[in-house]
Amino acid sequence: MSILSLPEEEYLYPGCGSCPGCGSLLALRHTLKALGKKTIFIIPAGCIAAVTGLFPKTPFKVPMFETAFETTASLASGVIAALKMKGKENVTVVGFAGDGGTHDIGIQALSGAAEREENLLYICYDNEAYMNTGMQRSGATPFGTTTTTTPILGKKVNKKDLPLIMAAHKIPYVATACVSYPHDLFKKVRKAKEIIGTRYIQILSPCPPGWRYNINQTIEIGKLAVRTGMWALFEIENGKFRLTGRSRGLINPTKRKPIQEYLNLQGRFRSLREKQIEILLDQINNQWRTYQDLASKARALINNIL
Ligand SMILES: Cc1ncc(C[n+]2csc(CCOP(=O)(O)OP(=O)(O)O)c2C)c(N)n1
Ligand code: SF4
Ligand SMILES: [Mg+2]
Protein backbone atom coordinates (compact mmCIF):
# COMPACT_ATOMS: atom_id res chain seq x y z
CA MET A 1 0.00 0.00 0.00
CA SER A 2 1.50 3.36 -0.95
CA ILE A 3 0.60 6.82 0.36
CA LEU A 4 -1.15 7.44 -2.96
CA SER A 5 -3.49 4.52 -2.37
CA LEU A 6 -5.16 6.25 0.59
CA PRO A 7 -8.55 7.72 -0.44
CA GLU A 8 -8.24 11.18 -1.97
CA GLU A 9 -11.49 12.38 -0.42
CA GLU A 10 -10.91 14.74 2.51
CA TYR A 11 -13.54 15.16 5.25
CA LEU A 12 -12.01 18.31 6.70
CA TYR A 13 -12.08 21.63 4.85
CA PRO A 14 -8.74 23.48 4.87
CA GLY A 15 -8.28 26.23 7.40
CA CYS A 16 -8.01 24.53 10.82
CA GLY A 17 -6.32 26.58 13.50
CA SER A 18 -3.73 24.00 14.57
CA CYS A 19 -0.01 24.68 14.93
CA PRO A 20 2.04 23.77 11.84
CA GLY A 21 3.25 20.16 12.04
CA CYS A 22 0.41 19.07 14.39
CA GLY A 23 0.40 15.26 14.65
CA SER A 24 -3.03 15.20 16.32
CA LEU A 25 -4.70 16.86 13.31
CA LEU A 26 -3.00 14.29 11.05
CA ALA A 27 -4.48 11.53 13.24
CA LEU A 28 -7.92 13.07 12.74
CA ARG A 29 -7.45 13.46 8.98
CA HIS A 30 -6.44 9.81 8.44
CA THR A 31 -9.19 8.59 10.79
CA LEU A 32 -11.76 10.51 8.75
CA LYS A 33 -10.45 9.04 5.49
CA ALA A 34 -10.84 5.54 6.92
CA LEU A 35 -14.35 6.10 8.32
CA GLY A 36 -15.96 8.09 5.52
CA LYS A 37 -19.22 10.04 5.46
CA LYS A 38 -21.53 8.02 7.70
CA THR A 39 -19.75 9.01 10.88
CA ILE A 40 -20.60 11.14 13.91
CA PHE A 41 -17.71 12.53 15.93
CA ILE A 42 -17.82 13.26 19.67
CA ILE A 43 -14.89 15.46 20.71
CA PRO A 44 -14.17 16.75 24.22
CA ALA A 45 -12.21 19.82 25.31
CA GLY A 46 -8.64 19.64 24.03
CA CYS A 47 -6.57 20.82 21.06
CA ILE A 48 -8.69 19.09 18.41
CA ALA A 49 -11.90 20.65 19.74
CA ALA A 50 -10.18 24.02 19.87
CA VAL A 51 -8.79 23.88 16.34
CA THR A 52 -11.93 22.47 14.70
CA GLY A 53 -14.80 23.76 16.76
CA LEU A 54 -14.68 27.53 17.08
CA PHE A 55 -18.41 28.36 16.71
CA PRO A 56 -19.91 29.23 14.23
CA LYS A 57 -17.20 27.78 11.96
CA THR A 58 -15.93 24.22 11.62
CA PRO A 59 -13.80 22.39 9.06
CA PHE A 60 -15.77 19.12 9.60
CA LYS A 61 -17.75 17.72 6.67
CA VAL A 62 -19.42 15.15 8.97
CA PRO A 63 -21.48 15.85 12.12
CA MET A 64 -19.39 16.67 15.18
CA PHE A 65 -20.48 17.22 18.80
CA GLU A 66 -18.14 19.09 21.06
CA THR A 67 -18.57 17.93 24.64
CA ALA A 68 -17.27 18.44 28.18
CA PHE A 69 -13.84 17.07 29.03
CA GLU A 70 -15.06 13.98 30.93
CA THR A 71 -18.06 13.01 28.82
CA THR A 72 -16.82 11.61 25.49
CA ALA A 73 -17.93 8.02 26.05
CA SER A 74 -21.15 8.91 27.90
CA LEU A 75 -22.31 11.40 25.25
CA ALA A 76 -21.37 8.87 22.57
CA SER A 77 -23.46 6.22 24.38
CA GLY A 78 -26.45 8.60 24.24
CA VAL A 79 -25.95 9.25 20.52
CA ILE A 80 -25.73 5.49 19.89
CA ALA A 81 -29.00 4.95 21.80
CA ALA A 82 -30.72 7.77 19.87
CA LEU A 83 -29.59 6.36 16.50
CA LYS A 84 -30.87 2.93 17.53
CA MET A 85 -34.29 4.36 18.42
CA LYS A 86 -34.41 6.01 15.01
CA GLY A 87 -33.48 2.73 13.33
CA LYS A 88 -30.23 4.18 11.93
CA GLU A 89 -27.66 1.50 12.63
CA ASN A 90 -25.11 1.92 9.85
CA VAL A 91 -23.55 5.08 11.30
CA THR A 92 -20.18 4.90 13.06
CA VAL A 93 -20.14 6.82 16.33
CA VAL A 94 -16.58 7.76 17.22
CA GLY A 95 -15.24 9.38 20.37
CA PHE A 96 -12.05 11.26 19.48
CA ALA A 97 -10.31 12.44 22.64
CA GLY A 98 -6.86 13.51 23.79
CA ASP A 99 -4.71 11.55 26.23
CA GLY A 100 -5.72 13.74 29.19
CA GLY A 101 -9.40 13.39 28.24
CA THR A 102 -8.91 9.62 28.05
CA HIS A 103 -6.26 8.45 30.55
CA ASP A 104 -7.31 10.80 33.34
CA ILE A 105 -10.70 12.51 33.39
CA GLY A 106 -12.45 10.40 30.72
CA ILE A 107 -11.45 6.89 31.84
CA GLN A 108 -14.53 6.33 34.03
CA ALA A 109 -17.02 7.02 31.22
CA LEU A 110 -14.88 5.00 28.78
CA SER A 111 -14.62 2.02 31.15
CA GLY A 112 -18.39 2.15 31.74
CA ALA A 113 -19.10 2.19 28.00
CA ALA A 114 -16.75 -0.78 27.45
CA GLU A 115 -18.41 -2.72 30.27
CA ARG A 116 -21.85 -2.05 28.71
CA GLU A 117 -20.44 -3.24 25.37
CA GLU A 118 -21.52 -0.01 23.64
CA ASN A 119 -21.12 -0.09 19.87
CA LEU A 120 -18.52 2.68 20.12
CA LEU A 121 -15.25 3.36 18.36
CA TYR A 122 -13.08 5.33 20.80
CA ILE A 123 -9.89 6.91 19.49
CA CYS A 124 -7.36 8.54 21.76
CA TYR A 125 -4.99 10.92 19.95
CA ASP A 126 -2.04 10.72 22.28
CA ASN A 127 0.24 13.77 22.31
CA GLU A 128 1.38 12.77 25.81
CA ALA A 129 0.30 15.89 27.75
CA TYR A 130 -2.46 18.46 28.25
CA MET A 131 -1.37 20.51 25.24
CA ASN A 132 -4.36 22.82 24.89
CA THR A 133 -3.94 24.30 28.35
CA GLY A 134 -0.19 24.77 28.30
CA MET A 135 1.57 21.38 28.29
CA GLN A 136 0.84 19.99 31.73
CA ARG A 137 1.68 16.32 32.37
CA SER A 138 -1.07 13.71 31.91
CA GLY A 139 -1.30 10.01 32.77
CA ALA A 140 0.09 9.36 29.28
CA THR A 141 3.23 11.50 29.69
CA PRO A 142 6.33 9.25 29.67
CA PHE A 143 8.77 8.97 32.57
CA GLY A 144 11.38 11.75 32.59
CA THR A 145 9.40 14.24 30.45
CA THR A 146 9.69 17.92 31.30
CA THR A 147 6.29 19.62 31.23
CA THR A 148 4.98 22.80 32.83
CA THR A 149 3.88 20.76 35.88
CA THR A 150 7.02 18.59 35.99
CA PRO A 151 9.60 21.32 35.42
CA ILE A 152 12.42 19.85 37.51
CA LEU A 153 13.94 16.49 36.49
CA GLY A 154 10.79 15.60 34.54
CA LYS A 155 7.87 13.27 35.34
CA LYS A 156 8.76 10.77 38.05
CA VAL A 157 6.34 7.97 37.17
CA ASN A 158 5.68 5.86 34.10
CA LYS A 159 3.13 6.28 31.28
CA LYS A 160 -0.24 4.66 32.06
CA ASP A 161 -0.74 1.59 29.86
CA LEU A 162 -4.23 2.35 28.59
CA PRO A 163 -4.28 -0.03 25.59
CA LEU A 164 -3.72 -3.00 27.92
CA ILE A 165 -6.19 -1.58 30.46
CA MET A 166 -8.78 -1.47 27.67
CA ALA A 167 -7.80 -5.00 26.60
CA ALA A 168 -8.55 -6.12 30.18
CA HIS A 169 -12.16 -5.04 29.51
CA LYS A 170 -12.23 -7.91 26.98
CA ILE A 171 -13.53 -5.68 24.20
CA PRO A 172 -13.28 -7.11 20.67
CA TYR A 173 -10.62 -4.73 19.33
CA VAL A 174 -7.75 -2.73 20.79
CA ALA A 175 -4.96 -1.23 18.68
CA THR A 176 -2.15 1.29 18.74
CA ALA A 177 -1.00 3.37 15.78
CA CYS A 178 1.25 6.32 14.99
CA VAL A 179 0.68 9.17 12.52
CA SER A 180 4.06 8.46 10.91
CA TYR A 181 2.68 5.13 9.63
CA PRO A 182 -0.56 6.20 7.93
CA HIS A 183 -1.30 2.85 6.22
CA ASP A 184 -1.06 0.92 9.47
CA LEU A 185 -3.31 3.56 11.07
CA PHE A 186 -5.77 3.55 8.16
CA LYS A 187 -6.06 -0.26 8.08
CA LYS A 188 -6.72 -0.42 11.84
CA VAL A 189 -9.42 2.26 11.76
CA ARG A 190 -11.05 0.55 8.72
CA LYS A 191 -10.97 -2.79 10.50
CA ALA A 192 -12.38 -1.28 13.72
CA LYS A 193 -15.20 0.35 11.73
CA GLU A 194 -16.51 -3.10 10.71
CA ILE A 195 -16.36 -4.64 14.21
CA ILE A 196 -19.40 -4.48 16.49
CA GLY A 197 -18.88 -3.58 20.16
CA THR A 198 -16.46 -1.24 21.91
CA ARG A 199 -13.24 -0.67 20.00
CA TYR A 200 -10.27 1.33 21.28
CA ILE A 201 -7.38 2.76 19.22
CA GLN A 202 -4.58 4.93 20.63
CA ILE A 203 -2.65 6.99 18.08
CA LEU A 204 0.73 8.46 18.99
CA SER A 205 0.58 12.06 17.72
CA PRO A 206 3.76 14.15 18.05
CA CYS A 207 3.28 17.83 18.97
CA PRO A 208 6.03 20.33 17.99
CA PRO A 209 5.51 22.97 20.72
CA GLY A 210 4.78 20.46 23.49
CA TRP A 211 7.59 18.04 22.62
CA ARG A 212 9.86 20.92 21.66
CA TYR A 213 11.12 20.02 18.21
CA ASN A 214 11.06 21.68 14.76
CA ILE A 215 7.73 21.65 12.91
CA ASN A 216 9.17 19.72 9.97
CA GLN A 217 10.19 16.74 12.16
CA THR A 218 6.78 15.33 13.14
CA ILE A 219 6.95 12.27 10.88
CA GLU A 220 10.59 11.55 11.72
CA ILE A 221 9.93 11.78 15.48
CA GLY A 222 6.96 9.40 15.22
CA LYS A 223 9.08 6.93 13.24
CA LEU A 224 11.83 7.11 15.85
CA ALA A 225 9.29 6.49 18.64
CA VAL A 226 8.44 3.21 16.91
CA ARG A 227 11.95 2.20 15.83
CA THR A 228 13.45 2.79 19.28
CA GLY A 229 10.62 0.81 20.93
CA MET A 230 9.28 3.81 22.89
CA TRP A 231 5.96 3.16 21.10
CA ALA A 232 4.82 -0.21 19.78
CA LEU A 233 2.36 -0.81 16.95
CA PHE A 234 0.02 -3.69 17.74
CA GLU A 235 -3.54 -4.93 17.71
CA ILE A 236 -5.48 -7.20 20.05
CA GLU A 237 -8.35 -8.76 18.16
CA ASN A 238 -10.72 -10.93 20.22
CA GLY A 239 -7.98 -11.27 22.83
CA LYS A 240 -5.22 -12.20 20.36
CA PHE A 241 -2.19 -9.94 20.43
CA ARG A 242 -0.22 -9.19 17.24
CA LEU A 243 2.60 -6.73 16.59
CA THR A 244 2.08 -4.88 13.30
CA GLY A 245 4.09 -2.94 10.70
CA ARG A 246 7.48 -1.62 11.78
CA SER A 247 7.14 -3.06 15.30
CA ARG A 248 7.25 -6.65 14.03
CA GLY A 249 10.76 -7.92 14.58
CA LEU A 250 11.55 -5.46 17.39
CA ILE A 251 11.00 -7.93 20.27
CA ASN A 252 14.76 -8.53 20.21
CA PRO A 253 16.17 -5.35 21.86
CA THR A 254 19.25 -5.34 19.61
CA LYS A 255 16.96 -4.67 16.62
CA ARG A 256 15.73 -1.40 18.17
CA LYS A 257 17.50 1.90 17.55
CA PRO A 258 19.25 3.51 20.56
CA ILE A 259 16.72 5.42 22.63
CA GLN A 260 18.96 8.51 22.57
CA GLU A 261 18.17 9.01 18.86
CA TYR A 262 14.58 9.71 19.91
CA LEU A 263 15.26 11.62 23.13
CA ASN A 264 17.94 13.95 21.78
CA LEU A 265 15.67 15.48 19.14
CA GLN A 266 13.16 16.71 21.74
CA GLY A 267 13.50 19.53 24.24
CA ARG A 268 10.99 17.83 26.58
CA PHE A 269 13.65 15.25 27.49
CA ARG A 270 16.35 17.86 28.08
CA SER A 271 16.62 17.24 31.82
CA LEU A 272 17.19 13.47 31.54
CA ARG A 273 20.42 12.29 33.14
CA GLU A 274 22.24 8.96 32.45
CA LYS A 275 20.59 7.27 35.44
CA GLN A 276 17.10 8.30 34.29
CA ILE A 277 17.76 7.10 30.76
CA GLU A 278 18.68 3.70 32.23
CA ILE A 279 15.40 3.64 34.19
CA LEU A 280 13.47 4.57 31.06
CA LEU A 281 15.24 1.85 29.07
CA ASP A 282 14.42 -0.71 31.78
CA GLN A 283 10.77 0.28 31.59
CA ILE A 284 10.78 -0.07 27.81
CA ASN A 285 12.42 -3.51 28.00
CA ASN A 286 9.83 -4.64 30.59
CA GLN A 287 7.04 -3.42 28.37
CA TRP A 288 8.44 -5.39 25.43
CA ARG A 289 8.69 -8.52 27.61
CA THR A 290 4.96 -8.10 28.23
CA TYR A 291 4.38 -7.87 24.45
CA GLN A 292 6.52 -10.97 23.95
CA ASP A 293 4.40 -12.91 26.50
CA LEU A 294 1.17 -11.72 24.90
CA ALA A 295 2.43 -12.66 21.42
CA SER A 296 3.46 -16.18 22.53
CA LYS A 297 0.10 -16.72 24.27
CA ALA A 298 -1.68 -15.69 21.06
CA ARG A 299 0.50 -18.09 19.02
CA ALA A 300 -0.18 -20.96 21.48
CA LEU A 301 -3.92 -20.24 21.24
CA ILE A 302 -3.84 -20.31 17.43
CA ASN A 303 -1.80 -23.55 17.44
CA ASN A 304 -4.35 -25.14 19.81
CA ILE A 305 -7.22 -24.17 17.50
CA LEU A 306 -5.39 -25.51 14.42
C1 LIG B 1 -13.55 19.54 33.84
C2 LIG B 1 -12.52 20.30 33.07
N3 LIG B 1 -11.30 20.48 33.60
C4 LIG B 1 -10.35 21.14 32.92
C5 LIG B 1 -10.64 21.67 31.69
C6 LIG B 1 -9.59 22.48 30.96
N7 LIG B 1 -9.03 21.77 29.84
C8 LIG B 1 -9.49 21.96 28.58
S9 LIG B 1 -8.61 21.14 27.42
C10 LIG B 1 -7.56 20.53 28.60
C11 LIG B 1 -6.38 19.69 28.20
C12 LIG B 1 -6.73 18.55 27.30
O13 LIG B 1 -5.66 17.65 27.23
P14 LIG B 1 -5.78 16.39 26.29
O15 LIG B 1 -7.03 15.66 26.55
O16 LIG B 1 -4.53 15.60 26.39
O17 LIG B 1 -5.93 17.03 24.84
P18 LIG B 1 -4.86 17.99 24.08
O19 LIG B 1 -5.15 19.38 24.52
O20 LIG B 1 -3.51 17.53 24.44
O21 LIG B 1 -5.18 17.81 22.64
C22 LIG B 1 -7.93 20.95 29.88
C23 LIG B 1 -7.21 20.62 31.12
C24 LIG B 1 -11.93 21.49 31.16
N25 LIG B 1 -12.27 21.93 29.95
N26 LIG B 1 -12.86 20.79 31.87
S1 SF4 C 1 -0.27 22.30 20.74
FE2 SF4 C 1 0.31 20.36 19.76
S3 SF4 C 1 -1.58 19.14 19.65
FE4 SF4 C 1 -2.16 21.28 20.04
S5 SF4 C 1 -2.58 22.15 18.00
FE6 SF4 C 1 -0.43 22.61 18.50
S7 SF4 C 1 0.73 20.89 17.61
FE8 SF4 C 1 -1.41 20.24 17.71
MG1 LIG D 1 -2.90 15.59 25.08
Instruction: Please state the domain extents for the chain.
Output: 8-305
State if residue 27 touches ligand 2 by the CB under 6 angstroms criterion. no
**Long-range CB contacts (< 8 A, 24+ apart) of 253-259?**
253/229, 253/285, 253/288, 256/227, 256/228, 256/229, 257/224, 257/227, 257/228, 258/228, 259/228, 259/229, 259/230, 259/284
- Identify the pLDDT of residue 257: 98
50 Cα nearest atom in ligand 2: 5
Amino acid at 192: A
- Identify the pLDDT of residue 238: 96
Ligand nearest to the CA of 96: 1
pTM listed for this prediction: 0.97
Q: Is 302 exposed, middle or buried (0-12, 13-18, 19+ CB in 10 A)?
A: exposed
Ligand nearest to the CA of 211: 2
Q: Which protein residue's CA is at the shortest distance from atom 8 of ligand 2? A: 22
131 Cα nearest atom in ligand 2: 1
- Identify the pLDDT of residue 74: 98
Ligand 1: centre distance to CA 50 (Å): 10
Q: Which protein residue's CA is at the shortest distance from atom 5 of ligand 2? A: 18
- Identify the pLDDT of residue 306: 64
- Identify the pLDDT of residue 16: 86
Q: Which protein residue's CA is at the shortest distance from atom 7 of ligand 2? A: 22
Which CATH code is given to the segment(s) 8-305?
A: 3.40.50.970
- Identify the pLDDT of residue 269: 98
State if residue 202 touches ligand 1 by the CB under 6 angstroms criterion. no
State if residue 19 touches ligand 2 by the CB under 6 angstroms criterion. yes
Question: Ligand 1 pocket: which of 19, 24, 69, 123 to mutate (most atoms <8 Å of CB)?
Answer: 69
What b-and-e string marks burial along 195-212, b requiring 16 or more CB atoms within 10 Å of the CB?
eebbbbbbbbbbbbebbe
Ligand nearest to the CA of 206: 2
State if residue 51 touches ligand 2 by the CB under 6 angstroms criterion. yes
Q: Which protein residue's CA is at the shortest distance from atom 24 of ligand 1? A: 69
pLDDT per residue as tens, the chain (306 positions): 667 789 999 999 988 889 999 999 999 999 999 999 999 999 999 999 999 988 888 999 999 999 999 999 999 999 999 999 999 989 999 999 999 999 999 999 999 999 999 999 999 999 999 999 999 999 999 999 999 999 998 999 999 999 999 999 999 999 999 999 999 999 999 999 999 999 999 999 999 999 999 999 999 999 999 999 999 999 999 999 999 999 999 999 999 999 999 999 999 999 999 999 999 999 999 999 999 999 998 878 777 776
Give dist(CA 110, CA 76) in Å, integer: 10
State if residue 141 touches ligand 1 by the CB under 6 angstroms criterion. no
